[in-house]
Amino acid sequence: MKIAVSMDVDKISDSFEDCKYFLIFRMEDNEIKGTKVIFNDENIQKALIKEKINALICKSINEENYKKFSKKIDIYHAEGDSVDKNISLFVEGKLNKIIQ
């Protein structure tokens, strides 16, 4: 499973659209097996789909991007700024899906 987290320097960004980059986590058996960075640019939709992302964690996402991504990727609402905390919450099934 691959999880993308919208990032701004060393914390989760305030919105999907304004993030500087996405930190991609490759998970197996609820453990992180690898990470990768993809910078946010005009090709981000194709890049995330090419990476075969299963889930996206962000604080907010606009309606247009929600419609684009929610067809293929589950989108979850980040709790606070900590990446580690949100990955743990995701693994525990405690993050809420964003539904628009």
Q: What is the mean pLDDT for each group of 10 consecutive residues in the chain (100 residues)?
A: 94 95 93 93 87 96 93 94 94 92
Q: What are phi and psi of 48, to 5 degrees?
A: -70, -40
Give the pLDDT score at 80: 94
**pTM metric for this prediction:** 0.93
Give the pLDDT score at 49: 86
Give the pLDDT score at 45: 83
Give the pLDDT score at 60: 96
Retrieve residue 89's tokens.
């919450």
**Architecture of the domain spanning 2-91:** 2-Layer Sandwich (3.30)
- Give the start-to-end residue ranges of the domains of the chain: 2-91
Chain centroid offset of residue 26 CA: 12
* The one-letter amino acid at 29: D
